[in-house]
Structure 1
Amino acid sequence: MSVLKQLSTVVIDCADPAALAAFYQKATGWEITHSDQDFASLGSGTPVQLAFVRVDGYEVPNWPEGTKYMHLDFTVTDLDAAAEELLGLGASRPDFQPGEGQWIVLTDPEGHPFCLATAPAGD
């Protein structure tokens, strides 16, 4: 028997929750469900949401060196087209790209790394 029943929210520390939620809203098309100077969240009507919480003294992750606590993975239909669109929304593409073209690593406007990969056949 498991105690945990359902993942509800992935919460990401940041300096500006509203701005970071706005970036991910544009990137995913999900709806912002709450936004203020200390906390913002968005979701797509599924049980799992993304949320962003303001942390005083927030330090930007330094991909690939330094502190990195977690990252998000997103599936896309076209890696290069998705990367270009996200770069236009404010993401950055670090020089270090592992995976030999199987995925692309980007960072959001606050430096959190996230990966793009194509969905496996049949998904």
Structure 2
Amino acid sequence: MTLRFTEICIDATDIHSLGAWWSEVLGWPLAITEDGDVQLQSAAGPTMLFLSVPEGKSAKNRIHLDFTPDDQQAEVARVVGLGAQHVDIGQGEQSWVVLADPEGNEFCILAGE
């Protein structure tokens, strides 16, 4: 049996706003699916699919996204400037920075390589 990782689904109360935010952060094109969901397509990997839910986020994510930039400090500043917020999930002093998107979904910007 073979599996391919093709998509990560993200619940959101406002799929259009959150999808547009992530599209701007990542530079991935945004499309609306036949079902009316918002989809972002990476040139080299899986898509991000935003699914509408009525409730907001209520607890720490059980899974999150990690991103490795060329310049961590510059990317953190850029993404915070777009509306991300610093989040303390008990990580302490680390080489990565934990942020949250406008709907509170945590993600990390790792130290550049």
Q: CA deviation at 1:77?
A: 1.5
CA distance in 2, matches of 1:95, 1:55: 25
Give the 3-state SS of the residue equivalent to 1:26 in structure 2: helix
Alignment size in residue pairs? 113
1:73 matched to 2:71: no
CA separation of 1:84 and 1:119: change in aligned 2, threshold 3 A: closer
Shift in alpha-carbon separation, 1:85–1:41, aligned structure 2, 3 A: same
Gapped regions of structure 1 (runs ≥ 5):
none
**In the superposition, relative to structure 1, how do residues 97 and 55 fare at CA in structure 2: closer, same or farther (>3 Å)?**
same
For 1:16-27, list aligned pairs within 5 A: 16-27=14-25
Match of 2:95 in 1: 102
In the alignment, what sits opposite 1:60?
Answer: 57
- The whole-number CA distance in structure 2 between the counterparts of 1:69 and 1:81 is 27
Aligned counterparts of 1:55 and 1:117: Cα–Cα separation in 2? 29
Distance in 2 (CA, whole Å) between partners of 1:28 and 1:35 is 19
Give the aligned partner of residue 10 of structure 1: 8
Q: Between the two proteins, what is the percent identity of the paired residues?
A: 31
Unaligned runs of 5+ in 2: none
Amino acid at match of 1:88: G
Deviation at 1:78, TM superposition (A): 1.6
Give the alignment's Cα RMSD to 1 decimal. 2.3
